[in-house]
Each structure stands twice: as structure tokens, then as C-alpha cells.
Amino acid sequence: MKQPGNEQSFKDPVCKMEISRLTAIDECIYRDKTYYFCSGSCREQFEAEPEKYIAHHRQHGMK
């Protein structure tokens, strides 16, 4: 069993708050990845426009 201090942290993609699976209020799976949220409101905002909150890596030569 993991101790709470060893729990992996995640960043809420909407408000950028650091949370863990233990402290997350809500979660959502999008494109086979689980996102954790500090509130239902942040999850709702994410579900409305997920691409707005997902960091995209820029490819070489693209602006």
C-alpha cells in the first residue's frame, strides 16, 4: 500500500492545480488517458473543449 506522501501528483488540465488520485474530486478519460480534476466544474470545462486544455507538442517547421 502506498503512503499518501508517495502518491503521484497530476496537474488539473483546466486550473493547473496539483492533485493526486486521492485528492482529485473527479476524473475523465479522453483518448485513452485519464485526467484528474480538483472539481466537477473543471471536469465540465474540460469535457466541453478538451483540445483547449491538452498541451500539444509543436513539430519542427510548424508554427
Instruction: Domain ranges for the chain, please list them.
Output: 8-53
CA distances from 61 to 4, 7, 53 (A): 43, 38, 23
Q: What is the pLDDT of residues 4-53, one digit of tens each?
A: 557 799 999 999 999 999 999 999 999 999 999 999 999 999 999 999 99
- According to DSSP, the residues that pair with 18 across neighbouring strands are 11
Does the pLDDT at position 58 exceed 60? Answer: no
Residue 62 is predicted with a pLDDT of 45
pLDDT at 24: 96
Cβ atoms within 10 Å of 62's Cβ, excluding its own? 7
Which pLDDT does position 7 carry in this prediction? 79
Cβ pair 18, 9 in contact under 8 A: yes
